């Protein structure tokens, strides 16, 4: 079955430090990749997406991600985090056609002052 | 444009009761789906639909029914509630465009359901 692996369940990081949240997906011919963010007691908000084209995609709040087909990865990065970035981050993949969006189990980012 | 609307936002049920979680979208999206979110499990797909009259099972369909009589609505029915169904439920929709189905999903705000 197609799957999405988020390698870290929790990531603590100090304020203004860089962060990388890792995501790997099952190999496929073509995929559509997404990162969603969920703030405490809220719904899911789209952070960024890769549909085609440039492998480096920029999203909201200063986040970016790089699609690496050979590594089947789509890691999320931010050069300097803020307290307000504390949230849970989900990587998600559409593997083909009208198939469902498959989620990773999430990474809880905690930014420490 | 309200997006994806879920009702109710909170619900407490007793074991064995039935209820329907409502989901409506006003974006004319063909694709709709239901997920449940549990700590450490991410979002798991319950049922989905690629258009009116078409539904299919996801990863965790047992104990839930769905129907899709219109493009706008996709209700989720709990047939006989069990404590294991205590969760946060999210409805989502996404469009089909000329490139296919690879578009972001829009999510509702969720329904927090507790089964006693």
Q: What is the DSSP string of A1-44?
A: ---EE-S-SEEEEETT--EEE--EE---SS-EEEEEEE-TT--E
Which residue, B72, B39, B95, B52, is CA-closest to A94? B95
- Taking CB atoms and an 8 Å limit, are B102 and A103 in contact across chains? no
The pLDDT of residue B1 is 63
The pLDDT of residue B40 is 85
Token pair of A73, please?
């990865």
CA angle in degrees (0–180, nearest 5) for A95-A100-A103: 80
- Taking CB atoms and an 8 Å limit, are B42 and A34 in contact across chains? no
Residue window 56-95, chain A: list those with CB within 8 Å of chain B: 90, 92, 94
Token pair of B11, please?
């619900």
The pLDDT of residue B98 is 66
Cβ atoms of residues A54 and A64 within 8 Å = no
Count the Cβ atoms, other than its own, within 10 Å of residue A95: 21
- Taking CB atoms and an 8 Å limit, are A103 and B44 in contact across chains? yes
Closest residue, chain B, to A44 (C-alpha): B107
Q: Sign of the CA dihedral B91, B107, A29, A5?
A: negative
Matching residue, tokens 């190999």 = A27
B39 interfacial to chain A (CB closer than 8 Å): no
- Asked whether the predicted pLDDT for residue B5 surpasses 90, the reply is yes
- Asked whether the predicted pLDDT for residue B99 surpasses 80, the reply is no
Closest residue, chain A, to B43 (C-alpha): A103
The pLDDT of residue A30 is 79
Token pair of B36, please?
């449940």
**Chain B CB contacts of A9 below 8 Å:** 40
Q: Give per-residue pLDDT as tens, B20-79.
A: 999 999 999 999 999 999 988 889 999 999 999 999 999 999 999 999 999 999 999 999
Token pair of A47, please?
């952070």
CB pairs under 8 A between A and B: 54
Token pair of A75, please?
């890691």
Q: Which residues of chain A have pLDDT under 50?
A: none
- Taking CB atoms and an 8 Å limit, are A43 and B109 in contact across chains? yes
- Taking CB atoms and an 8 Å limit, are B92 and A106 in contact across chains? no
Query: Residue B104's pLDDT band (boundaries 50, 70, 90)?
Result: confident
Question: Chain A closest CA to B49's CA: distance in Å?
Answer: 9
Question: Residue B20 and residue B29: Cα distance in Å, rounded?
Answer: 21
Count the Cβ atoms, other than its own, within 10 Å of residue A69: 12
The pLDDT of residue A97 is 72
């Amino acid at each position: 079955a197609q799957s999405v692996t988020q390698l870290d369940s929790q990531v603590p990081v100090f304020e203004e430090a860089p962060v990388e949240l890792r995501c790997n997906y099952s190999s496929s011919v073509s995929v559509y990749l997404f990162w969603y963010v969920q703030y405490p007691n809220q719904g899911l908000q789209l952070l960024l997406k890769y549909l085609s084209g440039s492998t480096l995609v920029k999203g909201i709040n200063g986040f970016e991600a790089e699609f690496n087909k050979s590594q089947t990865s789509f890691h999320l990065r931010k050069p300097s985090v803020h307290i307000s970035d504390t949230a849970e981050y989900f990587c998600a993949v559409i593997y083909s056609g009208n198939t469902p969006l498959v989620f990773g189990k999430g990474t809880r980012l905690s930014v420490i002052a | 444009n309200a997006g994806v609307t879920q009702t109710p936002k909170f619900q407490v049920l007793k074991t064995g009761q039935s209820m329907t979680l409502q989901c409506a979208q006003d974006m004319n999206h063909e694709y709709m789906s239901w997920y449940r979110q549990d700590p450490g499990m991410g979002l798991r797909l319950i049922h989905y639909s690629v258009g009116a009259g078409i539904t299919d099972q996801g990863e965790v369909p047992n104990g839930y029914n769905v129907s899709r009589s219109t493009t706008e609505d996709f209700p989720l029915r709990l047939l006989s509630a069990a404590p294991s169904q205590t969760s946060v439920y999210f409805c989502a929709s996404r469009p089909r465009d000329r490139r296919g189905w690879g578009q972001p999903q829009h999510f509702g705000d969720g329904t927090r359901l507790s089964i006693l």
